[in-house]
């Protein structure tokens, strides 16, 4: 017993073991100067007027995100599942780019003729790059189906990869049954998940380039079949700063639109601000999106916080 008491006294008296002495002897973090500067936070958006959209915007589902700060500027039914229609093709393009290179040549097998198409021909051999143009610009169901059908394991494996990809990028309340965006009880997306998907797509230079193109003509590898493609997004070239991203429509979904807009905030000329605007089940997707863009830049200011440094 005496031995144990002596041993306990030794450890309690040893400065390295005594909690008070241990913390007392460590220099306080606030007394130290970091050898580098931390990156400055992105300008923070603030609604300067207290005005928010109302019934003049018809969409049932809305999310507007300031891309650089990650701040949600406005939301309406953001966690409610909707039929995403062809906005699905954003995810399909990401999955295709995970496995294919742009120069890979695929063969058109099953021809998907219903809905929007780029008018592919059975047996046509065409690059993945041109199929992605057809998918993202023309919203061609035949283009995205060809990407899926040539995927290792076929369409079923492609759809499985879509759901795996969705989990990996934190699309928490979305599920997919096809690569096209056809209506299905188990094919759903929430507006907030669609914003997350769009934000991931914006990190891919190929997608960013393609979704901003108003029109282009592509061909098969033998230059036998030519496909003029026209972007379905009517806001391109009409609304300043709009650079994509994807339209969607079915009878169940109504009018859907995912929009990237980059424009100077107010006061003008200081710094460009990127916004993702999602509208789902709208009666006028282009009109709704235009109103929402005008609302953002008419009511928000961006505050910049500077980092103070110690000499």
Instruction: Report the CATH number that the domain containing residue 223 is assigned in CATH.
Output: 3.40.710.10
Q: What is the share, in percent, of the chain residues with pLDDT greater than 70?
A: 81
In this predicted structure, what is the pLDDT of residue 20? 38
Say if 48 falls within a structural domain. yes
In this predicted structure, what is the pLDDT of residue 263? 82
C-alpha 279/C-alpha 297 separation (Å) is 17
Q: Is the peptide bond prior to 267 cis by the omega test (within 30 degrees of 0)?
A: yes
Q: Are 239 and 212 in contact (CB under 8 A)?
A: no
pLDDT band for position 303 (cuts 50, 70, 90): confident
Q: Are 190 and 79 in contact (CB under 8 A)?
A: yes
In this predicted structure, what is the pLDDT of residue 167? 97
Say if 7 falls within a structural domain. no
* Over residues 58-65, mean pLDDT: 98
Q: pLDDT tens digits for 158-209?
A: 999 999 999 999 999 999 999 999 999 999 999 999 999 999 999 999 999 9
Give the DSSP letter string of 64-107.
Answer: EEETTTTEEEEEESTTS-B--GGGHHHHHHHHHHHH--TT-EEE
Say if 145 falls within a structural domain. yes
pTM recorded for the entire structure? 0.84
Cross-strand bridge partners of residue 275? 66, 261
Among the ranges given (29-43, 98-112, 157-171, 284-298), the one the predictor scored with the smallest mean pLDDT: 29-43
From the centroid of its chain, how far is CA 181? 16
C-alpha 172/C-alpha 193 separation (Å) is 7
Q: Which domain holds residue 254?
A: 44-303
Beta strands in 174-269 (DSSP E): 215-219, 226-230, 242-250, 254-264
Say if 26 falls within a structural domain. no
| Burial of 86 from C-beta contacts in 10 A (0-12 / 13-18 / 19+) | buried
Tally of domains within the chain:
1
Say if 196 falls within a structural domain. yes
Say if 6 falls within a structural domain. no
* Over residues 26-33, mean pLDDT: 48
Q: Which residues are catalytic?
A: 86, 89, 139
Residue with tokens 């144990």: 4
Say if 56 falls within a structural domain. yes
Q: For the chain, what is the mean pLDDT?
A: 87
In this predicted structure, what is the pLDDT of residue 311? 39
Say if 115 falls within a structural domain. yes
Show the 3-state SS of 153-208: CHHHHHHHHHHHHHHHCCCCCCECCCCCCCCCCCCEECHHHHHHHHHHHCCCHHHH
Torsion sign (Cα): 73, 51, 189, 202: negative
């Amino acid at each position: 017993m005496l031995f144990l008491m002596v041993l306990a006294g030794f450890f309690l008296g040893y400065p390295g073991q005594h909690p008070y002495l241990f913390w007392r002897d460590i220099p306080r973090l606030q007394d130290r100067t970091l050898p580098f500067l931390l990156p400055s936070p992105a300008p923070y958006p603030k609604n300067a007027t207290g005005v928010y959209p109302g019934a003049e915007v018809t969409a049932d589902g809305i999310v507007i995100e300031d891309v650089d700060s990650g701040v949600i500027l406005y939301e309406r039914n953001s966690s409610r599942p909707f039929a995403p229609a062809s906005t699905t093709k954003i995810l399909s393009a990401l999955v295709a780019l995970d496995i294919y290179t742009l120069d890979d040549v695929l063969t058109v097998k099953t021809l998907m003729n219903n809905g929007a198409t780029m008018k592919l021909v059975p047996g046509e051999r065409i690059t993945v790059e041109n199929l992605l143009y057809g998918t993202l610009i023309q919203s061609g169901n035949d283009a995205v189906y060809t990407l899926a059908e040539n995927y290792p394991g076929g369409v079923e494996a492609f759809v499985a990869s879509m759901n795996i990809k969705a989990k990996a990028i934190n699309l928490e309340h979305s599920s997919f049954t096809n690569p096209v965006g056809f209506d299905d009880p188990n094919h759903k997306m929430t507006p907030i998940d669609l914003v997350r998907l769009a934000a991931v797509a914006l990190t891919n230079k190929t997608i960013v380039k393609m979704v901003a193109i108003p029109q282009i003509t592509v061909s098969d590898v033998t230059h036998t079949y030519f496909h003029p493609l026209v972007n379905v997004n009517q806001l391109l070239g009409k609304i300043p700063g709009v650079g994509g991203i994807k339209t969607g429509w079915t009878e169940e979904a109504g009018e859907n639109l995912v929009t990237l807009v980059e424009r100077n905030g107010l006061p003008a000329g200081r710094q460009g601000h990127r916004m993702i605007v999602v509208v789902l089940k709208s009666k006028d997707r282009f009109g709704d999106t235009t109103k929402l863009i005008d609302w953002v830049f008419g009511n928000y200011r961006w505050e910049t916080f500077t980092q103070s440094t110690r000499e």
